[in-house]
Structure 1
Amino acid sequence: MSRIRLHELAARPDGAEWIVGRPATGTFVAVPEAGKRALELLGEGLSTGEAARRLEHETGHDLDVADFVDALVELGFVAEVDGRAVPLPEPPRPTLPGIRPARVRWTLSPLLPLLVVLLVTAALVVRPEGVSVSYRALLWSEHGSLVLAFGAASGWALLLLHELAHLVTARATGVPARMRLGTRLQFLVMQTDISGIELAPRRHRMTAYLAGIGVNLAVSAGAALAAGAVDGTARRVLAALTVLALLPLPFQLMVFMRTDLYFVLQDLTRCRDLYGDGRAYARYAARRLLRPGHRAPDPSRALPAHERRAVRIYSVLLVAGTALCLAFLVTVTLPADLALLTRAAGRLCAGDRGAAQRLDAAAVLVALGGVHVLWARTWWRGRRGRRARARRTR
C-alpha cells in the first residue's frame, strides 16, 4: 500500500497508447490507456492499493499497480516512495543551460521553414554569376593553405551552427538537449542528444529533426545571393561557402547511421526504435542464414504490422550501408591513413631530412593521429556509458 511522488512527467497520445516520459532525463516509454490512468491516480496521491481498486472499478480489469510502480522506479520516474527519496543519479547537465525555452520559442514558428524555402528558391531562380555547386568553387585561392584554413574554419562553424539549431529548437519544446562528440561507424561526429522530443507534437519534432539541414540550406542560399552582390575575392569566398554548406547534406541520407533523416524516417513510419529493432532483426536473419537449424523466435513478430514491415526493410539498408562503409574503411581510408602516418614517421626518424619536411611530417602525425585518438576515446566513452546504463536498468 505504498504512496509515491512522481517526478515531473509529460505525455502525449500515440494511437491506442500514450508516450510518457521525464523531460529532464529524456527517458520515455509507451503505456496503454490504463497505464496513463494509473499514473494520474498515483500522481493524485492514491496508494498502490487504492489506485488498483479505482482502476478495477473503472476498467473491470485487475491491474498489478505495485509491479507498475516498480517499473516506474527503474525508469527514474519516481521521486519518493512513502516519503523516502529514491536515490537516482543527477540528470546530465544540458548544454548552454542559459538558453531558456521561452526565449527561443520563436524557432518553432511555421514561418521559419517557409523563409528557408523562399531563400533557397530565390538562390535557384537568381543563380548569381560566378557561383556554381562544383569543386572548383572550393579552390577560391591559389594559396592552398588559405583554401584549407578557410575550409576547416567554415566546416567547424557550420557544424556548430547545425547542432545548435537542433539544440535550440529542442530546448524550445522544453527538452534540455546536450551537444557532444560521438561516433558513427568510422566517422567522428558532433551530435545533439534531444531525447525527450518524442513527447512533443509532431510538427515540433520534425522542426527539431530538420533544423540542422535547414540551417545548412539557409547559409548556402544566403551565401550564393550575397556572392551575386560583390566582386573579386569576396565573391569567390562566398561561392566556396555556398558549396561548403551543402557538403554535409549527402551524409544525412545515410539513415543506417541514425542521421537527422533517420529520425524523420522513424517518426513517419511510427516506429519506436527503428535502429534497435532493425539491428535485432538483422542479427536474427543472419543466424538463420548461417545456422539453418536456428530456432530463436523472430524479434519483429512482437511488433505491430506497420512497424514490422518498416523494420524489415530498414534492416536491409542497415546491413548494406554498414557493409559498404566498413569496406570503404578497410580498402581506402585505413590504407591511406597508414601510408601517410608511416611516411611521416619515417621522415621524422630520418636524419637527412630538412626542417620543412620534418615540420610537415610532425603536422601529419599530430593532425591525423589526433583524429584517430579522439575517435577511439570517444568510441570507448560511449561504449562505457552504454554499459553503465545497461547495468542500472537490470
Structure 2
Amino acid sequence: MTGTAAEDRPRIEPSTRVLLHDLAVRRDRDEWIVGRMATRTFVAMPAAGARAVELLGQELSVSRTARMLRDETGEEFEITDFVRDLTALGFVARIGDTPVPDGEAPRASLPWLRPRHVRFALHPVLPVFAGALLAAAVAVLIRRPALLPGYRDLLWSRHGSLVLLSGAAAGWALVLAHELAHLVTARAAGVPGRIRLGTRLQFLVMQTDISGIELAPRRHRLTAYLAGIALNVSVASSMILVLALTGTGTTAHRLLSAALLLALLPLPFQLMVFTRTDLYFVLQDLTGCRNLYGDGLAYAHYVFRRALRSPRSPRSGGTGEPTRAGDPSTRLPAHERRAVRLYSVVLVVGTVVCLTFMAAVTLPADITLLVRAARALGPEHGLAANADGAAVLVTLGGVNVLWAVTRWRERRSRASAKAA
C-alpha cells in the first residue's frame, strides 16, 4: 500500500463507531462463516470474531466493543486492527462520519430471476421425484439391458460432420442445462450465482460460481452442489423410459440413444475431484474443509520441496529429520489436516494421470484429426469431404482455441487479483 493510500484511510479512535454492510452469519463447527452476499466475500472467524462483528453491528464504539469482549472472554482484542481487516474485506460502509468506498459487485447471470421464481428447486419432493425416475429407469434396464447405449450409438448417421455438429450442439445444451440447475438452486437459496467458461487442466468447462451458498443450511448447500448431476441423471432416466416406447432401429431410437449417451458421459468426469468438480464441493463440505484444493496443493508443494531437500540440510537441524516448520497443514484443525493430506495424494496422482493421457492420447488424436480435416479441403475433393473437413476444423479447432483464450483470461485475472 502506498503512503498516500494509507494517509487517505479514516482514522480509527477508541470512540469511533463503524457502520457495517448487511452481513450474514452462520455457525460451522467451531467457527463462524461471515459474509456479504452483495460482493460474494466470505471468511471463517472464531467465535470471538463473530461476536465482535455483532457488537460493531450494533454501532458500539471500538473501545466499548473491546471492553465487552474482554469481560466476556477474559482476553484482550485489537479491535482497531479487526476493523481494518473488515474494511479490507469490504464489510464496512462507514468509519465514523467517513464513508468507505465500495467496490463493484460481481455480475450475476440472469439477474431478473428472483428466488421466489425458483423456490420449487429446494422443495423436498424434488429429490424424491428424481429418485423415483431413476428407480423406474433402472427397473426398465433390468428387464431390457439392450437399451443401455454403447459408443456406436453416437454414430447415428453416415455423415461424420452431421454426427459431430449435432453431438456438439446437444452436448453443450446439456452442459448449459447442468449449470442452470446449479444457478437455479442457488438462486432459490438467495445466492446470485454466475455462469462462465473456465478450464480444468486440459478440459474446457462451463462453471457456475455460487459463492455465498456457504451461508445456507447444509441441505440447501448439498442440493446446489448436486443439482447438475441430478439433472443429468434425470434426463438420462427419462431417455431410457422413452426409448422403451420407441421401435428399435428407427431414427428416433438412434437419436434418443445418442442423447442418452451424451447425458451419461459427463458423470464419470464428476469423480475427478482433483479438478474441483461438483463432487469435490460435496467432499469439501462433508469434511468441513475451508479450501480443500488450495490447502491440498500447498501441502503437495511442501512434500515435494521436502523430498528434494538434502537430508542434512540446515532446515533439518543436522539430525537427518526434516522439521515441520514449513508444513502448511499443521495450522489446520485435526479433521481438516487429515482430509487435506489424503486429498493431496488424489490431487497429485489424478493430475499426473490426466496430463499424461493428454500428452499420449488426446493431443496426438486432435492433431491428427485437424491435419486430416485440413487436407480434405479444396476443389479437388467432393462437397461431402469439404463439409466434413470444415466441420472438424470449426468444432474441434474452435474448442481448442476457446480453451486457450479462456486459460489466458484466467491467468490474467489471477495476476490482476494478486497485483491488487
TM over 0.5: yes
Asked if the contact 2:90–2:103 (Cα under 8 Å) also holds between the matched residues in 1, the reply is: no
In structure 1, the partner of 2:367 is 338
In structure 2, the partner of 1:53 is 67
Deviation of the 1:294 alpha carbon? 7.5
Deviation of the 1:150 alpha carbon? 3.1
Name stretches of at least 5 consecutive residues in structure 2 with no aligned partner: 1-12, 316-324
Given the alignment, which residue of 151, 171, 179 partners 1:135? 151
1:90 aligns with 2:104: yes
Deviation of the 1:359 alpha carbon? 5.4
Given the alignment, which residue of 241, 254, 259 partners 2:259? 241
Counterparts of 1:268 and 1:159 in 2: how far apart (Å)?
A: 25
Q: Specify the SS of the correspondent of 2:43.
A: strand
Given the alignment, which residue of 363, 368, 378 partners 2:406? 378
Asked if the contact 2:191–2:211 (Cα under 8 Å) also holds between the matched residues in 1, the reply is: yes
Deviation of the 1:337 alpha carbon? 2.4
Deviation of the 1:55 alpha carbon? 1.6
Deviation of the 1:78 alpha carbon? 1.3
Q: Specify the SS of the correspondent of 1:19.
A: strand
Deviation of the 1:79 alpha carbon? 1.7
Q: Specify the SS of the correspondent of 1:221.
A: helix
In structure 2, the partner of 1:389 is 417
Amino acid corresponding to residue 411 of structure 2 in structure 1: R
Deviation of the 1:52 alpha carbon? 1.1
Matches within 5 A, 1:159-238: 159-231=175-247, 232-238=250-256
Q: Specify the SS of the correspondent of 1:324.
A: helix
Amino acid corresponding to residue 259 of structure 2 in structure 1: L
Name stretches of at least 5 consecutive residues in structure 1 with no aligned partner: none
1:301 aligns with 2:315: no
Deviation of the 1:139 alpha carbon? 3.3
- Tell me how many residue pairs correspond in the alignment: 390
Counterparts of 2:152 and 2:376 in 1: how far apart (Å)?
A: 32
Counterparts of 1:88 and 1:42 in 2: how far apart (Å)?
A: 19
Amino acid corresponding to residue 298 of structure 1 in structure 2: D
Deviation of the 1:343 alpha carbon? 4.4
1:110 aligns with 2:124: yes
Deviation of the 1:94 alpha carbon? 0.3
Deviates more, 1:303-312 or 1:45-54: 45-54
Counterparts of 1:328 and 1:318 in 2: how far apart (Å)?
A: 15
In structure 1, the partner of 2:270 is 252
Given the alignment, which residue of 26, 33, 39 partners 1:25? 39
Amino acid corresponding to residue 45 of structure 2 in structure 1: V
Percent identity between the aligned chains?
A: 61
Query: Could you tell me the TM-score, scaled by structure 2's length?
Result: 0.87
Q: 1:345 to 1:291 in 2, by over 3 A?
A: farther
Deviation of the 1:84 alpha carbon? 2.5
Counterparts of 1:143 and 1:384 in 2: how far apart (Å)?
A: 40
Counterparts of 1:102 and 1:324 in 2: how far apart (Å)?
A: 44
In structure 2, the partner of 1:327 is 356
Given the alignment, which residue of 341, 359, 377 partners 1:312? 341
Which portions of structure 1, spanning 4 or more consecutive aligned residues, are displaced by more than 6 angstroms? none
Asked if the contact 1:21–1:29 (Cα under 8 Å) also holds between the matched residues in 2, the reply is: yes
Counterparts of 1:189 and 1:5 in 2: how far apart (Å)?
A: 40
Amino acid corresponding to residue 99 of structure 1 in structure 2: L
